[in-house]
Amino acid sequence: MNRVKVAVFQEAKNGNNECGDSYFYRETENEFICALADGLGSGEFAKESSKIVIDIIKENYHSPVEELVKKCNEKLIGKRGTVLAILKIDYRSNNYSISSIGNVGVMTITGGNTRKRSVPNAGYLAGFNRKFKVVQEPLENEMNFVMYTDGVTSKELTERYFYEKDVERITKNFALKSKEKRKDDTTLIAIQYKHN
């Protein structure tokens, strides 16, 4: 057990108190799950929706990704929409699954220092049925994942420090380079997977 290390950077827009992004991660004997949600808009109301979604995932984290997305969607009827990304690493099948709906990103960094951003499904979750894909890929013995909300810019994602293996170094470097107030709620989750 304990194949995963996680480090998180989170900051609210313009130094606000409440960040509209919510996240959750957990490692169990057989799997690791991380979910990141960004409520549409910012602040308190955005937080309400992103928190609803993350609470559902907390309660049902053992469910397959597809089921989780569906459950989250159902709970958002009559609420503000949210965008969501889920990463699940399955230690038994040696695969990982990613699904992102809307503007929450997942980037993988594999052994040969290859960065790849997963293609998100269009739109957002807001209670109505929508089609979405779950992408499944084989796990490498060592690889990193980065999950981020749209407060993180594309330019920032090209920085060299994303090649660091140590997740603390990634989030610390990111923090150092974001001295100015963030223009949007920002969450950056760095995840290192290593097969023992």
List of residues contacting Mn ion (CB under 5 A): 38, 149-150, 184
CB 15 within 8 A of CB 29: no
What phi-psi label fits residue 102: left (phi over 0), alpha (psi between -120 and 50 degrees) or beta?
Answer: left
User: Least distance from C-beta 5 to Mn ion, angstroms?
Assistant: 25
**Minimal distance in Å, beta carbon 185 to Mn ion?**
5
Compare residues 48 and 137 and give the one whose CB is closer to Mn ion. 48
- Kindly state the smallest distance separating residue 131's Cβ from Mn ion, in Å: 23
d(CA 46, CA 114): 33
Shortest spacing between CB 65 and Mn ion, in angstroms: 22
Give whichever of 18 and 90 is closer to Mn ion, judged by the CB atom: 18
Three-state DSSP at 174 gives helix
CA distance 10 to 188: 6
Q: Which is nearer to Mn ion, 8 or 139 (CB)?
A: 8
Cβ neighbourhood burial of 34 (10 Å; 0-12, 13-18, 19+): buried
Residue with Cβ nearer Mn ion (37 or 170): 37
DSSP 25: E
Question: Closer to Mn ion at the Cβ: 144 or 149?
Answer: 149
Local structure of 69: helix, strand or coil: helix
Q: Least separation, in Å, of the C-beta of 71 and Mn ion?
A: 22
Q: Mapping DSSP to helix (H, G, I), strand (E, B) and coil, where does residue 169 land?
A: helix
